[in-house]
Amino acid sequence: MAQVALITGITGQDGSYLAELLLGHSYEVHGLVRGDGDGLERISGLAGRLELHEGDLLDGESLAAAVSASAPDEIYNLAAPSFVATSWEDPARTAEMAGVSVARLLEVVRSDRPQARFYQASSSEIFGRGSGEPLDESAPLSPRSPYGAAKAYAHLLTAAYRESYGLFACSGILFNHESPRRGLEYVTRKITWHAAAISLGLAEGVALGDLDAERDWGYAADYVEAMWLILQREEPGDFVVATGQAHTVRECVEVAFDEAGLADWERYVTRDPRFTRPADVVRLTGDASRARRELGWEPSTNFDELIRMMVRSDLALLSTEAPPGG
């Protein structure tokens, strides 16, 4: 009998890649989706192969109904607002969506499906400022945004349910991971889309925040494999998933504009303080030694390959919109 998985956030970047991965492993895949249909285009190619259940992270009854209907062996909780900057605009809703909702879902698992294996999408933002050195699972939590604080609560709560109730509950502490399916509000996709648009004559420039901010960027399709591997172990645990390499926003711009055939990127990029967050995290780098050692996981796509892949995707996406001769 096929393994059954329930993915919350299945229409997001990570959810769509994870659904493809699990189907490739012959899973029966169920997904929780909102009634507004947001993001369904990311899983349109999987039509007929998924069972979708309408629900909301803020509605415990809908979560219980989805778990009851799918009877999953594995639950991947990926649904939450993941754009850090907007968490400052509505910190209370961020706390509900990224923090309190995890308590609701864990309660459903504990009472209705305690044998299921549970994966919580944690985040490098729980570490906040960090120490400047690559961060592993033992690094202290010091979030610097409402999003990071909500994720820290969910991370600690998942461990508490594991230790208190014996649930197979795990967190993957994922550092930044991108892909052509990233939303346009994220800085990497904002850069690659604008590089493509400028090269096609569809845009004149792009405004960015701190070009010196550094992140550990990996490829989302690699990272969902780590999620799956975390739930295949004999014992539950938490794992950092990262490349261990930091790159600046400026490096992202340089690679993207080079791939788009625009040699002098400085002609097109302006700085705008509106895109600088309060109490921003300047540098975050992860140490995924445990994942390499215990999961056998390795990222397959480096930073340069990732950004160039995203630019090529955006060029293909936008090419039909280019003006004649553009």
State residue 148's pLDDT score.
93
- Contact between 217 and 177 under an 8 Å Cβ cutoff? The reply is yes
Q: How many CB atoms lie within 10 A of CB 218?
A: 28
Catalytic residue among 28, 74, 125, 225: 125
DSSP state for residue 79 in the 8-state scheme: -
0.95 surpassed by pTM: no
Catalytic residue among 27, 76, 119, 147: 147
Pick the range with the lowest mean pLDDT from 86-95, 186-195, 196-205. 86-95
State residue 324's pLDDT score.
45
Q: Is 251 part of the annotated catalytic residue set?
A: no
Q: What is the mean pLDDT of residues 173-188?
A: 95
- Contact between 256 and 311 under an 8 Å Cβ cutoff? The reply is yes
Chain segment 251-302, per-residue pLDDT in tens: 999 999 999 999 899 999 998 877 665 545 557 899 999 999 999 999 999 9
- Contact between 129 and 182 under an 8 Å Cβ cutoff? The reply is no
Catalytic residue among 62, 123, 171, 179: 123
Q: Is 27 part of the annotated catalytic residue set?
A: no
State residue 133's pLDDT score.
79
Higher pLDDT among residues 255 and 183, named by residue = 255
Higher pLDDT among residues 187 and 38, named by residue = 187
State residue 1's pLDDT score.
83
Structure tokens at 25: 């492993």
Q: How many CB atoms lie within 10 A of CB 312?
A: 15
Q: Where are the alpha helices (DSSP H) in the chain?
A: 13-24, 60-70, 91-95, 101-112, 146-165, 187-199, 220-230, 249-259, 289-290, 303-318
Q: Which of 241, 203, 223, 212 is nearest to 301 (CA)?
A: 223
Instruction: Label residue 325 by pLDDT band (50, 70, 90).
Output: very low
Structure tokens at 96: 């509900």
Does residue 28 carry a pLDDT above 80?
A: yes
Q: Is 204 part of the annotated catalytic residue set?
A: no
Share of the chain above pLDDT 90, in %: 80
State residue 81's pLDDT score.
73
Instruction: Label residue 122 by pLDDT band (50, 70, 90).
Output: very high
Does residue 223 carry a pLDDT above 90?
A: yes
Higher pLDDT among residues 198 and 213, named by residue = 198
Taking CA 269 as the corner, what is the angle to CA 266 and CA 272, rounded to the nearest 5 degrees? 135
For the chain, the first-to-last Cα distance in angstroms comes to 54
